[in-house]
Structure 1
């Protein structure tokens, strides 16, 4: 009898335990979420920090140290003197102490401090040119902190960003599965379609010609410009194509090659889930043949392979801006110094090549910008730092960081159109302070996530050179033939990254020299083609493509469907 009672008690106890466990496992998601939110509030109450997204960040003022490259245009970064610093501190109750690195060698100094275990404060912020290789290396060594736990705990704006733009999280997650840095978001419609080409309007009018639409029409136009004195000064001083090796998509081959093959600025593309080096294909060879023909007939200025941007502008401005027939460039502001000259150039649509091929460059991963924030592992107040960073990814913080104070530096217009044809989101008040000495913001040191692109600015009055409208209209034209073939932003493990960067440096160096030699005729595209391909193999081009293909297959395959 006694044994029976004991057995019954055991059964009852087990049943009770089972009910409790069953209750936990069948709890509704809403109930679980409510409990988690309650736990977060209790934790916040104990630490003095706010719940995720709430302000101020801390009940008591907290001081953090931010390491940042200095800027010659920011006159003061201090509270009470700099508008952005003052506003951020007032909103968050977080006081900032600054640790400045000289802008000229900020990257070198940062790497030295990281490798030696130096004191980098509580947050690394700004353009230190931190790349995936650096983050993977210092992250795996425990020098830079993994932050996905902090984002999960405190992120509101960051979680929204990762959800709305999956490319960002995918491109910035290290091979070990951790996140070590947060990038800026590049919302720039025209920037991602910037491999463009422009022709001289007055030349077209003088020659009674239309904007070229094919490679043959371009040849005929350049030839006429060179031979028929369209600037009317009685001299044959007109220049066909003028470019630059270093300006914004201003290399002589870049736009024209899109009439023969896909390629990005490194001569690469992805098609049918295969990484392809365009410069190993017959189509690329055909493009070089065409460019060599232009060069042989004096239709490409030879300085195009050595000019910097300033030199290109000097050439374009000859004869009061009426000397050059055509310019490869992202925009007129990058190749012409005066608005009158800029307004004299018209966008050329993507050309059709001899075989009917036609495409335009589109960098679908351009939205993933450079890293702006990383947290040193030996820093303090990581929770406060992450909450501050997340706040800076909010829309008002971005607008103040880019344009300044609303009502003082910019305002929201009423009922006007933007450069992109939609209702205008903002209008500058006075001069844009970007690159100007000022105390309004931090000159891009905390560039984060814009709510809209610069093409949302109110359109300028008729007759003024409106760069945003010009670039938007050009990009919209190019969108019609844009292909999703660009190379992703790969994140290699450290040893692979080191080898990849070595190969990339050598191959790009060779390609820059050899493209110029093939175009001007120092190398013969017919006789030297096989030798050129053998040279590429010898310096590791097959390995270079193989490294990318392996990473693509592991992380990106099927993403372009």
Structure 2
């Protein structure tokens, strides 16, 4: 798909909303504990209300699903009781747990409400584990909120699987800020103390990180500074992605598959990929790039960096909420740096609806389960699922929003329409919502006019939107893979090879970067990929890409 960034603002919201479908089930940081409550669905609560059982993914930022404010809103409005089966927070463990439940023949919960890639959804759908929801979705009375979505037809068609059916409800909240989430932040206070400019190239970045580690910018008399650090599974916190895009366009959401002039090719076999690995290996070897980035989770990252004066010079993260009050707005957005060839890129993921709320074959009352999911698409519920309790954590009262500065009010004249009264709620432990992991619909206008910037006050979180639009959006590629429409036969043919290749590429990258595998074994790495069926995998991807255009 060719994309003209300069025309984005002239396109209707529906056309702005096109991200690739898929990616692995989104992992949440935190412990791996599972709440093994009974998974059986349906039944009646002791209070006489129908029970809907829901499988969710454990999340360290959701304190208790049962007592959660969002849960209570749903239960009261729909006169139901929600019971939860918590799957592990780690991606692969959650996938494995769900797979074992299915294969064992155990009674499933009424609803599975976790992030799954399209091939996994289709696999379960083809086995009858998930039921199609088309009849419900096309019933304007039953699905009143879904059918009130202005982009309803776009959303519906974007969720169709290769069999032409839809098995989920959407979470659709187009947001320009999220379309290029692999951001980096640099400690502006440290730069100032050391008399350094913001680095613009990989060479300048190397020198900057070296100064951070060697020149005691936190002024505590100890050499305890970390140059660059990220996490294993936090939102867009993988430093490899930011750094590799200075050498070759590299999007983990597309399994590092690129396209040029209509031809799909893997980034991870190119000489530029090897160059990127060599650069990162140099950073790790010299102690400028923390190897903790490959093992720690988001919670551990926050504990490391959020100390008075700061411990890290550069952090990769999708959200500024990664940084606590201890840093006092020290971190500054760092645009993509240029590599040896002059490339400065960042992964582009245009907004598509995320599929959630899969109704299972064991649902006791599938229509009721659907109605509960459709209620979550209500405009106020969709705001509550992101911002928390109305009147406490957010407000759309004009008398309140008049005191807030819209993120684009100064640059584009867009006044605030939603005031975030409690911005620290997001990306931190709370009991107000499910961390937006549920059906919801928020139009593009919401993301552009929701604000926590109170007029006349110091802002708790700086407004980075204009800087992002200036520094990141121009580095989006002109040609990207948006969605791949596989046939059932294609999905079956690549199921094993895709998983094996994806895992091997990521494991090998970490091994090369950390030095556990010497880069002299690059040819062996390529040979192993060929043995795993890379050529056949690419043939299927190419066919699916051409069909999707």
Residue 146 of structure 2 contacts residue 152 of structure 2 at CA under 8 Å; is this kept in 1? no
CA deviations on 1:294-345 (whole Å, 9 max, x unpaired) are: 3344322333333333333344346x333432222223433x4x32326111
Residue 172 of structure 1 contacts residue 491 of structure 1 at CA under 8 Å; is this kept in 2? no
Q: Which has the larger radius of gyration?
A: 1
Counterpart of 1:329 in structure 2 is 317
Q: Could you say if the C-alpha distance between residues 401 and 410 of structure 1 is closer, same or farther in structure 2, counting changes exceeding 3 Å?
A: same
1:359 matches 2:345? yes
SS at match of 2:139: helix
Could you list the runs of 5+ residues in structure 2 that have no partner in the other structure?
1-47, 57-61
TM-score of the two chains, using structure 1 as the length reference:
0.73
The counterpart of 1:225, out of the listed 212, 216, 219, is 212
Counterpart of 1:480 in structure 2 is 474
Residue 408 of structure 2 contacts residue 465 of structure 2 at CA under 8 Å; is this kept in 1? no
Counterpart of 1:466 in structure 2 is 461
Q: Could you say if the C-alpha distance between residues 142 and 64 of structure 1 is closer, same or farther in structure 2, counting changes exceeding 3 Å?
A: farther
The counterpart of 1:448, out of the listed 440, 450, 461, is 440
SS at match of 2:268: helix
- Matches for 1:172-321 after TM superposition, within 5 Å: 172-265=159-252, 266-317=255-306, 320-321=308-309
Could you list the runs of 5+ residues in structure 1 that have no partner in the other structure?
1-61, 90-94
Aligned length: 477
Counterpart of 1:29 in structure 2 is none
Counterpart of 2:333 in structure 1 is 347
Q: Could you say if the C-alpha distance between residues 116 and 423 of structure 1 is closer, same or farther in structure 2, counting changes exceeding 3 Å?
A: same
Displacement of 1:65 after TM fit?
Answer: 4.9
Counterpart of 1:399 in structure 2 is 383
Whole-Å separation in 2 of the counterparts to 1:241 and 1:78: 37
The counterpart of 2:545, out of the listed 538, 552, 555, is 552
TM-score of the two chains, using structure 2 as the length reference:
0.74
Q: Could you say if the C-alpha distance between residues 119 and 480 of structure 1 is closer, same or farther in structure 2, counting changes exceeding 3 Å?
A: same
Counterpart of 1:423 in structure 2 is 415
Counterpart of 1:150 in structure 2 is 136
Residue 392 of structure 1 contacts residue 398 of structure 1 at CA under 8 Å; is this kept in 2? yes
Q: Could you say if the C-alpha distance between residues 177 and 316 of structure 1 is closer, same or farther in structure 2, counting changes exceeding 3 Å?
A: same
Q: Could you say if the C-alpha distance between residues 315 and 119 of structure 1 is closer, same or farther in structure 2, counting changes exceeding 3 Å?
A: closer
Counterpart of 1:82 in structure 2 is 72
SS at match of 2:348: coil
Counterpart of 1:368 in structure 2 is 353
Whole-Å separation in 1 of the counterparts to 2:521 and 2:433: 54
The counterpart of 1:532, out of the listed 499, 502, 525, is 525
- Matches for 1:61-72 after TM superposition, within 5 Å: 65-69=51-55
1:73 matches 2:64? yes
Q: Could you say if the C-alpha distance between residues 380 and 137 of structure 1 is closer, same or farther in structure 2, counting changes exceeding 3 Å?
A: same
Whole-Å separation in 1 of the counterparts to 2:69 and 2:334: 48
Displacement of 1:387 after TM fit?
Answer: 5.5
Counterpart of 1:31 in structure 2 is none
- What do you get for the CA RMSD once the two structures are aligned? 3.8
The counterpart of 2:394, out of the listed 410, 415, 421, is 410
1:139 matches 2:125? yes
Q: Could you say if the C-alpha distance between residues 430 and 171 of structure 1 is closer, same or farther in structure 2, counting changes exceeding 3 Å?
A: closer
Whole-Å separation in 2 of the counterparts to 1:306 and 1:446: 28
SS at match of 2:248: coil
SS at match of 1:453: helix
Counterpart of 1:457 in structure 2 is 451
Q: Could you say if the C-alpha distance between residues 543 and 414 of structure 1 is closer, same or farther in structure 2, counting changes exceeding 3 Å?
A: same
Q: Could you say if the C-alpha distance between residues 517 and 444 of structure 1 is closer, same or farther in structure 2, counting changes exceeding 3 Å?
A: closer
